Amino acid sequence: MNICINTLSISHLASREGIGFEQALAKCFEKGIRNLELDEPNSGGREQVLQFFNEIRNNGGNVAVLNLRLNLLGGDVKSNEKYLNDVKNWIKFCGENGCKVLRLRATPVDRETYCEKDFKLLYRNLLNILSSAEKNNVEISISTDKAAFSDMDRLAAMIEDIGSETIGLTLDSESFSRLDEKMLEKLVPLVNHVTVSEACLKNLEKSILEKVIRILRTKAYDGYVSLQLKEACSMEELSSYVDTIRRMTAP
């Protein structure tokens, strides 16, 4: 397993320490963490993202995961050529810039749970971008939030039916409690990205994070585990979180 840090977490660190982003970045690199997950900025589009890629590269790091706001249930890729091209252009962008994982949302519009129409649309859209992802050697990781948890068996069956290691799921630590051990065992082979929040790390005795990591290790998961902080933290706190994840993911 590889540890990476979300760029928003680095911004929180910079804010707490009263330093610039590059200085905070350097402090993370000193901890041996050079792989980052980049959230798409609110403005600037692909040019702004490329600027972040270059800044991180110039400082000795690497953007391993790009998290976009694009929603695979927000437009019909098959019938909307502009939408399809946008997704494929981002996939190509990742391939050209050494980014291994592209996270895309798959959350229903105006609903809290999936319906049959959502499953069919997601399946069709994933098939439409599959060849582009395989060609550019980029893994697509689907972020479902809580919307799909009412029917995870169906979602898992869909990913299995597509049958490509290029398409997988993001496993979010905030969703662990919604999954029993049997479902976790079923989902882990389909997971290609994991996120861990500071809330989960602060309350290890109440979370099942260690159990999840143990299952991931058993299934030989070799993807990224991304630390995502929602609050400002000190370098000491960040170091403690990283050391905890390292301890749990060590062979």
Domain ranges of the chain: 2-249
Cα–Cα dist 94/64, whole Å: 9
Cα–Cα dist 152/169, whole Å: 11
Q: Which comes out higher in pLDDT, residue 233 or 139?
A: 139
DSSP E strands, 144-201: 167-172, 191-197
3-state helix, strand, coil in the chain (%, to 5): 55, 20, 25
The helix-helix angle for 152-162 and 116-135 (nearest 10°) equals 30
Write out pLDDT tens, residues 147-197: 666 688 888 999 999 999 999 999 988 777 777 778 888 888 999 999 998
SS3 at position 24: helix
Tell me which CATH code domain 2-249 carries: 3.20.20.150
Cα–Cα dist 114/80, whole Å: 21
Write out pLDDT tens, residues 18-66: 999 889 999 888 888 899 999 887 656 888 899 999 989 998 899 999 9
